[in-house]
Structure 1
Amino acid sequence: MPETDDTTSPTLLRRQLGRFLREAREGRGLSIANAAKEVQLSFNALQRLETGRTVNPRRQDVRELCSLYEVDVEDTGKAVGLAARAATAKDEGGVTSLGGLFSDAFNMYVSMERSAWKLISYQELIPGLLQTADYARAMISAFFAGGSEEEIDQRVQIRLDRQVIVTRRTRPLNLDVLLHESALHRVIGGPRVMAIQLRQLAEISKQPNVSVRIHPFSAGSVWGLPAIPFVLLDFGTDSRGIPVEPPIVYLDGAMSSDVYIEKREVVQRYHEFAEAVRRTALDEVRTRDLLRQAARRFEQ
């Protein structure tokens, strides 16, 4: 995959750096006050850094925080590099293209997903957060055809580990999936894998924090446009009703760069598009019926 290009938004990079440092601090069980004292920063300075509001994050501060949090050498280097990029990148209208910069342990989208309060996803394949191990393995094996069995196993486990945000007891993700009917017919991993996947999808859609609705072929196109898969990430509000972070649209670049959109009016258009899809989608009960019907066909 290509390296990050010049459309990198400093706002998004600062948010990613802050999120990484916050999660590393919390992983060590340290408060902002204690961590700031250890590296000789003020409480406010570290809080600004963690919320992405530090315009020019200092690499030395990031390095010392990573040392305090016992971050490994590889991810420390990436965090320091991220601080340097955030300080020098130009804002390109709220659109960011990223590819190949982050490892699985330091992945921007996965980090955002973990921090999100609500996620709206329009997909033509079963989304990763709801995939069975066998469905995930079939997809990953096809994409990384040259990968070793060990590498495939590791990637599958990473995908399964992500799913805890949907099932955890404390603050589970509110997941709203709009799934095109084609996902029920595109065979991934064979009939048995598909049958199990579709039945599991029907079951998990009963969870109060999960909504799955099929957008049928009969609904045609929305706004006369062919829909492309996208994810809307909403990070919720704090105790004062202020957004924790601005919402973002994520477009999976597959073999090229992933795209992150922060521009408010564009994010709003994606919300409107999702609502238009929802208006022509099957309700949740009819969706579960269709999922089970498709599963039965694969079982025959």
Structure 2
Amino acid sequence: MAECAGSTLPRRQLGKHLRNGREAVGLTLADVGALMEWSISTVQRLEVGKTGRIRLVDVEALCRIYEFSDEFTEVLKGLACQAAGQSWWHEYGDLIPEHFDVFVDLESSAHALTWYELELVPGIVQTPAYASALIRAGYPAEPAGEHDRRVKLRMRRQTLITRSNVPVQIDITLRESVLRGVVGGPRVMAGQLRHLADLSTRPNVTVRILPFAAGFPMGVAMGPFVIIEPRKTTRRQPPEPTVVYVESYTGDLYLEKPVAVARYAQAHQKLRQVALDDERSRALLRRVAKEYGT
């Protein structure tokens, strides 16, 4: 019988989706225990990511009970089979289907997101035109309908920032190269930079620019990263750890060891200290936007 042992973050993600599925069909822990011939505590441990072993046949059975699609069932089976350890490498096209964006899944339940980018505007604050240009470059042969769907999905993420009920706290530090690297042409860049400047006036959004003149304050070339701080959980659920997301061309790395998270938090603080303050960053965004508009 296929089994998957160990794991931390993917195990908790699996448990979250199974709990949501159970609640969506109106079943209690006892109901599921009876259907699976498990104790209530076994169901509960699985939902909070504390199960010692996860059998794929059990995941498949739960997915049938919760009426999950075949596609989503494959996602959850992939989560169940991710390797053990404190760091989780998700390679594109491996156990988890490529269409399932693990980062967006984590982002949707975050309390705060701390970003450092040196080439591109983060997806969660992109304009439709900027996002469209990047998606078209990445998927040049894609049908128009699928292209539009990808753009709409990316725009939907911005409701995390703009919603009236407990919006996500966003702290973004952008290297000045993000402002100078042209995506989609001058008009698109002008609109994108104005959008960033406007968003930075919101109380839950901070955008700071690290100017070229700041050099390399870490003494090394830092790649992009995101620190994902989770929302507080209820008493029934164990607290989620802060996670650092590091993206590469071939896959994503999720770090949750406290030492690793602390190093990235310290790096962000150092970068932020030498970045322009909020007002000067906003002024630079608007000034460069005007340059593109002329």
TM exceeds 0.5? yes
Map 1:159-174 to 2 at 5 A: 159-174=154-169
TM-score between both structures, scaled by the size of structure 2: 0.87
| 3-state SS of 1:154 partner | helix
Identity %: 40
What is the Cα-based RMSD across aligned positions, in Å? 2.4
SS at match of 2:202: coil
2:53 partner amino acid: N
Letter in 2 for 1:281: A
Q: Distance in 2 between matches of 1:282 and 1:35?
A: 56
2:44 is the alignment partner of 1:51: no
SS in 2 for 1:258: strand
Gaps of 5+ in 2: none
SS of the aligned residue for 1:10 comes to: coil
Contact 2:233 2:240 in 1 (8 A): no
Q: 1:151-230 residue pairs with structure 2 within 5 A?
A: 151-230=146-225
The reply to whether residue 118 of structure 1 matches residue 112 of structure 2 is: yes
- SS of 2:132 mapped into structure 1: helix
Structure-2 separation of matches of 1:191 and 1:18: 45
Letter in 2 for 1:80: K
Where does structure 1 lack aligned partners over 5 or more consecutive residues? 1-7
Q: Corresponding residue for 1:298?
A: 292
Q: CA deviation at 1:81?
A: 4.2
Amino acid aligned to 1:159: R
The amino acid across from 1:278 in the alignment is R
* Count of paired positions: 286
Matched AA of 1:230: F
Higher strand share: 2
1:100 pairs, out of 89, 93, 97, with 93
Pick which of 168-177 and 131-140 moved more: 168-177
Distance 1:114 1:195, change over 3 A: same
Distance 2:144 2:266 in 1: 42
Identify the residue that residue 64 of structure 1 maps to in structure 2: 61
Partner amino acid, structure 2, of 1:99: Y
Residue type matched to 2:18 in 1? L
